[in-house]
């Protein structure tokens, strides 16, 4: 009998701290279930209070984990649960080894967790693939520094376990490496000792985001119908650069005094959220700026937020892909985005969106100028939104992405078969 279970292993998976990785894992799992496979999500207990849960009919099994560093306090552990923590879980390894009917493992993280997937796959002589959602070859130094702040000055006693799990060999030994950004894929091909690398962009459920009630969202948030509304949906995190957006908004506001800005997303860096609130207070923006600490991924309010927007802005300093751009496109919204990472391949400047340079000395002025352009030209907004929607429908529907992923899985299985015969 042919094995049907695909095991997805993200670092964490909870509805109240939803992000792009969670969206991708859930959507490809739904596509796989529709194709007759049995997707299963196995992850850690990070930010969760239940060991078992189902989301959209997809089973999620969570296992206890720890961070092998001396001297960690509760705040540091919570920070690592939220973002980038290099966790260790023997219970999760045991679950991967014992799970029956496994066709393939799909790791959505590196480091010790990726090594855990690698170890289980090698023990069972089964293929595994790795998705680089956050990138590794195309990540700014400042972003890497932010990830390691909670463990700076702490002694790491888990290095031997990382070595045993082959944490540094995860990409070298993978049967396939998947990059969501084209620039990341090119750098991965140059860096890795094999050619088992593919660019596979994220997708979108365009039908879901096509219809929404923007007026309802505005009423809920006390935003006037005539206000020019700018929306940003992303984690409250220095990587997402909401501070840069606020600086541009201050420059834009005098020419559009009725404008409003809404920032929506879970706070993966609470200290950064405090910095944003301090900026809002200092610049007397409380009446013009709203921070919503995340909307449930299944909430109609999330879709409504896109439809309420006159302009959608993704101001990230680093972005491997930018799935929220696809969602904004499906809602027919005009998009302004940073000219960084995977966004450069995703958006055609002047056709499906507008760019600004987040690292330029005049970054805030550039973004403010793009906001003025959209504010003053409603026809331009409509044109960009329509072009974005056509792009999303033509190239990024999840059914297309799911079919391409299945081809990658088959390539990974062929590679694994060449390495070792399958167990009978």
Does the residue 424 lie in any domain? no
pLDDT tens-digit series, residues 393-405: 999 999 999 999 9
251 shares a domain with 184: no
* CA neighbor of 65 nearest in space, from 15, 12, 20: 12
Q: How high is the mean pLDDT of the chain?
A: 93
Phi, then psi, of 130 in degrees rounded to 5:
-130, 130
Domain match, 223 and 155 both:
no
Given the DSSP bridges, would you call strands 354-356 and 335-338 parallel, antiparallel or unpaired?
A: parallel
- The closest alpha carbon to 402, from 22, 3, 33, belongs to 33
State the DSSP code for 3.
-
289 and 404, same domain (yes or no) = no
Residue 423 has a pLDDT of: 45
Q: What is the pLDDT of residues 206-244, one digit of tens each?
A: 999 999 999 999 999 999 999 999 999 999 999 999 999
149 and 18 co-located in one domain: yes
Residue 148 resides in a domain: yes
**What backbone phi and psi angles, to 5 degrees, belong to 422?**
-65, 150
The single-letter DSSP state of residue 50 is -
Q: What percent of the chain has pLDDT over 90?
A: 80
pLDDT in tens, 256-307: 999 999 999 999 899 999 999 999 999 999 999 999 987 777 778 999 999 9
Q: What domain range is 164 assigned to?
A: 5-203+397-419
**Where residue 370 sits, what CATH number does that domain have?**
3.40.50.2000
Number of domains in the chain: 2
pTM of the model: 0.86
Q: Is the dihedral of CA 301, 307, 312, 317 positive or negative?
A: positive
Contact 64, 91 (CB under 8 A): yes
Which range (16-25, 303-312, 389-398) has the least confidence?
16-25
Bigger pLDDT: 341 or 325?
A: 325
Residue 159 shares a structural domain with residue 233: no
Average pLDDT over residues 314-328: 94
List, for residues 165-190, the tens digit of each pLDDT value: 999 999 999 999 999 988 889 999 99
Instruction: Please say if the pLDDT value at position 123 is more than 90.
Output: yes
What per-residue confidence (pLDDT) applies to 298? 73
Do 373 and 247 fall into the same domain? yes
pLDDT band at 148 (very low <50, low <70, confident <90, very high): low
Residue for token pair 């299944």: 298
Q: Indicate if 234 and 193 belong to the same structural domain.
A: no
Beta strands in 99-244 (DSSP E): 102-107, 128-132, 176-179, 197-199, 229-233
Query: Is residue 223 domain-shared with residue 178, that is, in the same domain?
Result: no
Q: What is the pLDDT, as a whole number, of residue 139?
A: 64
Q: Spell out the residues 6+ positions from residue 419 whose beta carbon is closer than 8 angstroms to its own.
A: none
In this model, does residue 424 exceed pLDDT 60? Answer: no
For 128-146, the pLDDT digits (tens) are 999 998 778 766 656 555 6
Instruction: Read off the pLDDT band of 93 (50, 70, 90).
Output: very high
Place of tokens 């002025």: 365
Q: What is the pLDDT of residue 146?
A: 62
Residues 84 and 197 in one domain: yes
Per-residue pLDDT at 419 = 73
pLDDT tens string 335-387: 999 999 889 999 999 999 999 999 999 999 999 999 999 999 999 999 999 99
The answer to whether residues 411 and 349 belong to one domain is: no
Q: What is the pLDDT of residue 35?
A: 95
- C-alpha to C-alpha distance for 247 and 245, rounded to whole angstroms: 5
Q: Picking from 35-44, 240-249, 286-295, 383-392, which range would have the lowest pLDDT averaged per residue?
A: 286-295
**Residue 254 covered by a domain:** yes
> What percent of the chain shows pLDDT beyond 70?
95
**Whole-Å CA distances, 296 to 19, 213, 264:** 10, 16, 11
pLDDT beyond 60 at 153: yes
Q: What's the confidence (pLDDT) of residue 1?
A: 56
Could you tell me if 386 and 254 lie in one domain?
yes
Residues 262 and 355 reside in one and the same domain:
yes
* Euclidean distance between CA atoms 242 and 236, whole angstroms: 7
Q: Which pLDDT does position 20 carry in this prediction?
A: 85
Residue 276 CB neighbours (<10 A): 19
Question: Per the domain annotation, does 221 fall within a domain?
Answer: yes
């Amino acid at each position: 009998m042919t094995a049907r279970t695909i095991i997805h292993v993200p670092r964490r998976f909870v509805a109240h701290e939803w992000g792009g990785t969670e969206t991708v894992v859930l959507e490809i799992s739904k596509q796989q279930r529709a194709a007759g496979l049995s997707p299963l999500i196995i992850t850690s207990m990070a930010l969760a209070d239940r060991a078992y849960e189902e989301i959209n009919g997809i089973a999620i099994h969570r296992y206890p984990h720890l961070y092998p560093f001396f001297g960690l306090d509760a705040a540091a552990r919570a920070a690592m649960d939220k973002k980038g923590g290099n966790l260790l879980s023997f219970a999760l390894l045991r679950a991967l080894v014992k799970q029956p009917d496994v066709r393939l493992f799909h790791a959505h993280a590196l480091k010790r967790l990726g090594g855990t997937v690698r170890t289980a796959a090698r023990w069972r002589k089964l293929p595994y693939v790795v998705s680089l959602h956050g990138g590794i070859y195309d990540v700014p130094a400042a972003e890497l520094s932010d990830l390691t702040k909670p463990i700076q000055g702490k002694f790491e006693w888990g290095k031997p376990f990382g070595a045993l799990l082959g944490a540094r060999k995860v990409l070298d030994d993978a049967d396939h490496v998947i990059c969501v950004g084209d620039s990341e894929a090119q750098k991965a091909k140059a860096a890795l000792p094999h050619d088992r690398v593919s660019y596979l962009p994220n997708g979108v459920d365009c039908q879901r985001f096509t219809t929404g009630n923007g007026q309802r969202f505005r009423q809920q948030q006390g935003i006037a119908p005539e206000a020019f509304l700018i929306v940003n949906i992303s984690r409250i995190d220095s990587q997402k650069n909401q501070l840069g957006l606020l600086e541009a908004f201050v420059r834009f506001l005098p020419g559009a005094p009725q404008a409003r800005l809404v920032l929506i997303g879970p706070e993966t860096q609470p200290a950064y959220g405090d910095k944003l609130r301090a900026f809002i207070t200092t610049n007397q923006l409380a009446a013009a700026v709203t921070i919503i600490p995340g909307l449930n991924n299944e909430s109609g309010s999330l879709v409504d937020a896109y439809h309420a927007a006159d302009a959608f802005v993704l101001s990230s300093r680093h972005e491997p892909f930018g799935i929220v751009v696809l969602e904004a496109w499906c809602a027919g919204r005009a998009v302004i985005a940073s000219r960084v990472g995977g966004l450069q391949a995703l958006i055609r400047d002047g056709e499906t969106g507008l760019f600004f340079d987040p690292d330029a000395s005049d970054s805030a002025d550039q973004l403010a100028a793009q906001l003025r352009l959209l504010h003053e030209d409603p026809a331009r907004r409509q044109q960009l939104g329509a072009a974005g929607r056509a792009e999303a429908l033509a190239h990024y529907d999840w059914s297309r992405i799911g079919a391409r992923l299945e081809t990658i899985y088959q390539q990974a299985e062929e590679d694994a078969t060449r390495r070792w015969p399958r167990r009978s």
